Structure 1
Amino acid sequence: DPTFTALLTTQTQVRREIVNKHNELRKSVSPPASNMLKMEWSREAAANAQKWANKCTLEHSNPGDRKTSTKCGENLYMSSNPTAWSDVIQNWFEEHRNFVYGEGPKSPSAIVGHYTQLVWYSSFRVGCGIAYCPNQKSLKYFYICQYCPAGNIVSKKNTPYQQGTPCASCPGNCDSGLCKYEDLLSNCDSLKKTAGCEQELLKEKCKATCLCEGKIY
């Protein structure tokens, strides 16, 4: 089915569409965010998402199965027809209508977790997969995006990002409202504790940990 094949995330243009859509929505949040990181594609997260999608459970994966160098969060979407990734991601974002920044869901039954994960300030890597599940009765298309590091931390869940002037937390390294400092090593935290940020390696590879302390990481 060419419509389904066109949605597979093994294709560069599909990955680009997913990342661009996330970044477009992340910079459009209201109120604006001062510490929103720019998202990029994660091959590891995409591999985990695809592996789980292929099981066609239409349920969340085990948190232990969605790790890269960090724990990752997960958004799911099911549909009866092939749907463009941009529409799937927009659908998650629409939950913002049920959410009040700083207060949380507008009602106890309102679903907002897909939105808050999508705009979680520090989740800067995304990887997605899709499966066709012919054995399911009506919802045969199963979409998964995983977000690393995971968002929706319970203690902060009503403030998925810091409100403020876009990029105020990372001046000088900003791309149209999104922060571009990132940690290229998974163990920047422990390196900082043992070696300190004066080390050349850390200056180069651990910019988020070293330059945005207390603001982003």
Structure 2
Amino acid sequence: MEWCEHLLAVNFAIVNFALPSFAQNMQEDFLDAQNLQEDFLDAQNNARAEVNVEPLAWDDQVAAYSLAYAEQRIGDCNLVHSEGPYGENIAMGTDDMSIADALEMWIEEKVYYDHCSNSCAAGEICGHYTQVVWRDSIHIGCAKVRCDYGGTFILQL
């Protein structure tokens, strides 16, 4: 077999095997992003419905901001707020923390929140919960990244 026939065989293999794999990875990434979006929206909107607050809508611009900041935290996964223009919740897990786990952690603070006084019980934290159900919030954008050490950083704006 001449060298050009080998080259043709290699090119054929790349087209038939590499591209479908690449396309499959793109499709999996798209489905993961879509599932992430649905997971954030469903859990937050369920918590908001419990207190008669309108549901949130996904905002691609806010999500892009969230992802850009979350990617900055990949090296250390520190719970540091972005100090950007949005209110935000952050969570960090030492393993692959799920969206549901992060939201459950924030929503569990509800027991410490007094709706009448709009304040937390003495010595307790409830600011993550209030961020989830804040009446004036109408859009959301979130991101989840795996940190260099294997943990997870989740940001909700």
User: TM-score scaled to structure 2, two decimals?
Assistant: 0.71
Q: State the secondary structure of the residue aligned to 1:122.
A: coil
Aligned equivalents of 1:112, 1:9: Cα separation in 2: 32
Q: In the TM superposition, what is the alpha-carbon distance from 1:7 to its structure 2 partner? A: 9.6
CA distance in 2 between partners of 1:91 and 1:9 (Å): 25
Q: 1:86 aligns with which of 77, 84, 100?
A: 100
Partner of 2:155: 144
Percentage of pairs with the same residue: 25
Whether the 8 Å contact between 1:126 and 1:145 is mirrored in structure 2 is: yes
Q: Which runs of 4+ in 1 moved over 3 A?
A: 6-10
Query: Which secondary structure state, in structure 2, belongs to the residue aligned with residue 144 of structure 1?
Result: strand
What's the RMSD between the two structures over aligned residues?
Answer: 2.2
**Aligned equivalent of 1:22:** 44
Query: In the alignment, what sits opposite 1:110?
Result: 124
CA contact (8 A) 1:52 1:61 kept: yes
Tell me, yes or no, if the aligned pair for 2:97 and 2:151 is still in contact at 8 Å.
no
Report the Cα distance in structure 2 between the residues aligned to 1:100 and 1:9, rounded to whole angstroms: 38
Asked which structure has the greater RCO (Cα within 8 Å, sep 6+), the reply is 2
- 1:98 corresponds to 2:115: no
Whole-Å separation in 2 of the counterparts to 1:122 and 1:27: 14
Alpha-carbon distance, 1:9 to partner: 8.7
C-alpha distance in 1, partners of 2:30/2:115?
34
The reply on whether 1:62 has 2:69 as its aligned counterpart is no
For residues 195-210 of structure 1, what are the structure 2 equivalents within 5 Å? none
1:158 maps to what in 2? none
CA distance in 2 between partners of 1:9 and 1:116 (Å): 30
DSSP 3-state at the match of 1:81: coil
Partner amino acid for 1:143? I
Q: CA deviation at 1:8?
A: 8.8
Contact map agreement 1:7 1:84 (CA 8 A) in 2: no
Question: More helix per residue: 1 or 2?
Answer: 2
TM-score (norm 1): 0.53
What is the rounded CA distance, in whole Å, between the counterparts of 1:59 and 1:42 in structure 2? Answer: 22
Q: 1:49 to 1:25 in 2, by over 3 A?
A: same
Q: CA deviation at 1:97?
A: 1.2
3-state SS, counterpart of residue 39 of structure 2: helix
Counterpart-to-counterpart distance in 1, 2:153 and 2:66: 11
CA distance in 2, matches of 1:81, 1:9: 22
State how far apart, in whole Å, the 2-side matches of 1:7 and 1:143 are. Answer: 17
Partner of 1:47: 64
Unaligned 5+ residue runs, structure 1? 1-5, 67-71, 147-217
Identify the residue that residue 143 of structure 2 maps to in structure 1. Answer: 129
